[in-house]
Chain A
């Protein structure tokens, strides 16, 4: 259960969401931000903060963006992320769903 960063964040990474998140559960990848589903408290504060409308609630994610639900979760878990995005070490990788996109 969580909010989810989707396609519109790729190569933008505005990071306004990170500043809004009360529990610091948003982590930067190389080209996109990722929300940790185990740390997210579903408060939704990140969603209106995003200038690119890239963030959705898991249950209200448009179908074409649905693969990003798993991408967010897999990315943070596979990199062992946790304990706060602000101080997290930079990661120069992305989930394949993101990495495979052509740069904007």
Chain B
């Protein structure tokens, strides 16, 4: 007999089932059940079958989570480097020695160079409210360290979306069963948002058409009714041409436009130039296909657009999301449940970000450095202020996730750089650390989770004792703060006290939800209307300055910005460049049209989507995941391969002016001629020639929110 219970029952004997939550940086935030035997060892991790959205399923990444928890290669004790940087040679030390050494170093560097010589490097290796995005922010704010800008995921998209319709949750993913037309845009749901698919499948059984816009025939595109394969980075042209057709053919919902939007006449004038014929030359999609798409999208109501993170990853990614965010207002899709746009339902959660970021602790004017520019920053290419002398890395593996890989590694090898890495595994980054600290997995820590893919709060009970001397990130920063001699209350908070501060519990969306109820039930739906009634913008009510959907954005007047959530709450040193308040087309930078000289030397578009079995670089050291992920491979169209004498399985060198990496060729016609695909996340130490795709990806940002432009990359490929 087993019983599903919370953490207190851990002290009883016998097998228990403990409610938990998947910690990975994924929209699905699955409710998990962890079985623990009488000896306190976890024996199973499974999905909670009672959870309406995740419905008992996990995924290929997390099904074998126990292989991760109990992996023999876990980092279990604090360690100090004994060999050259990157050699992987370490000796075990005590926690006390580790934190006092770190504190002494940080103090000395701050005294000699100023605290901005120290920088945190982190993101969402775990995304719990306690141990995730903001866990180190108060520590580094108090220290006065350089502010880390973390625009890994949807930052450009968020800026664009907020400029257009505000920070709205948008469509409830569970409402998609009511959609009549589902437009999946730059999102490989089968690999990155799996639990949404059954809702789409159900809508389809009810007669909905499912169309996928993606340059490549992803698993999701293969399962759809129609796949529209456009040239990489030209999504904005397609979206704007859709608006052109909808307006030109009178397919708009004029009543919705009149009452709940602003700037329609200007928008209509703007999109006059974006004809389907023009878009065909940009996107490669036939004009007639664009017309049909626009007509079907406009007339099959409610229609919904599901945008993936990838849509922002080119020069004009921001304005692309602006255009896409305008489309539902144009056709009145918001009127009914299942109509509108689905980006990040995260905004429905009244997370008490301030209690975790503590932006008021920042020293005004503190330098901000984007983590994508870490390689340059370590080389001394920095905004004003001291050179970087110390890094503290947690929840992150920048050697794999950050472009400019060769320069980053060169920087990490600097003898005058002090690097601390808190990790579960000896990652490519941890190998360059001076001090490595052991971090717990989700089973070994308490946390409470928002979701950016559904509307349920999820509680994660610690189900097993920490292994070795691993500690949660919360405890890591408590120990570091104590070693610094800081006694501010913010550094004294227990995990339980932090959980009590996680949300604005008085917010209407939290009615009926308490810490105690979550601990007992494991998860609860936000107090918002049921999926068959949830139509938050049926009558406008957008969280914009006008309260309407803004074709002409008022927020654009303030210039380009990164949502402060992605930069420790800081609003200083925002990018600030002027933003056209009307959506418009910005072509990709690396294309034959924009840069013929570059395209002549590097004729292939490289796309580096999320792999099927890694979560960014997480799971990159696990044998089965590596096999499923097809790591360090390059999908090449057979015609492109033939032109280069490349056969299936050949090692190939992928290169451009920025760098090169070597992978194995995989000939498939799932990619069009002219496009090659290498799934991201494989570790450098498992690569063929000491480099991964991060060596060739660009460091320049897209037009909004300092989004990366990884889908705006030209390369050439040859046999290695």
Chain A residues packing against B (C-beta within 8 Å): 1, 20, 22-24, 39, 41-45, 48, 57, 59-60
Contacts and interface: CB of A to CB of B under 8 A. Distances in A.
Given A1-B627, A23-B190, A43 B201 contact: no
B194 interface: yes
A14 B355 CA distance: 51
Contacts of B554: none
B627 A45 contact: no
B70 interface: no
Nearest to B59: A43
B163 interface: no
Given A22-B195, A48-B46, A43 B58 contact: yes
A43 B198 contact: no
Most buried by A among B195, B627, B628: B628
Contacts of B533: none
A75 B113 CA distance: 68
Contacts of A45: 47, 56-58
Interface in B31-64: 46-47, 56-60, 63-64
Contacts of B191: 41
B374 to A, nearest CB: 33
Contact of A41 (B46, B194, B201, B627): B194
Interface string B198-239: 100100000000000000000100010000000000000000
Given A42-B60, A44-B57, A59 B190 contact: no
Contacts, number: 52
A22 B46 contact: no
Given A1-B628, A22-B194, A59-B627, A43 B56 contact: no
Nearest 5 Cβ contacts at the A-B interface: A42-B60, A45-B57, A44-B63, A59-B624, A22-B198
A44 B624 CA distance: 14
17 contacts: A1-B627, A20-B57, A22-B57, A22-B194, A22-B195, A22-B197, A22-B201, A23-B190, A23-B223, A41-B59, A41-B194, A42-B63, A42-B612, A42-B628, A43-B60, A43-B63, A60-B624
Contacts of A59: 624, 627
B388 interface: no
B481 interface: no
Chain B: interface size category = 20 to 34
Most buried by B among A1, A42, A48, A60: A42
A63 to B, nearest CB: 16
B56 A41 contact: no
Contacts of B197: 22-23
A29 to B, nearest CB: 22
Nearest to B197: A22
A59 B59 CA distance: 15
A23 B58 CA distance: 13
Contacts of A23: 190, 197, 201, 223
A48 to B, nearest CB: 6
Contacts of A39: 223
A41 B629 CA distance: 11
Contacts of A42: 59-60, 63, 612-613, 628
Given A41-B59, A41-B194, A60-B624, 19 more contacts: A20-B57, A22-B197, A22-B198, A22-B201, A23-B223, A39-B223, A42-B59, A42-B60, A42-B613, A42-B628, A43-B57, A43-B63, A44-B63, A45-B47, A45-B56, A45-B58, A57-B63, A57-B64, A57-B624
A103 to B, nearest CB: 32
Contacts of B57: 20, 22, 43-45
Contacts of A20: 56-57
Nearest to A41: B190
A42 B62 CA distance: 11
A54 B540 CA distance: 52
Given A23-B223, A48-B46, A41 B195 contact: no
Nearest to B44: A48
A83 to B, nearest CB: 8
Contacts of A60: 624
B201 A24 contact: yes
Interface in B63-87: 63-64
Contacts of A48: 46, 56
A39 B190 CA distance: 10
Contacts of B612: 41-42
B273 to A, nearest CB: 40
B83 to A, nearest CB: 34
A59 B223 CA distance: 25
B623 to A, nearest CB: 8
A43 B194 contact: yes
B201 A44 contact: no
Contacts of B194: 22, 41, 43
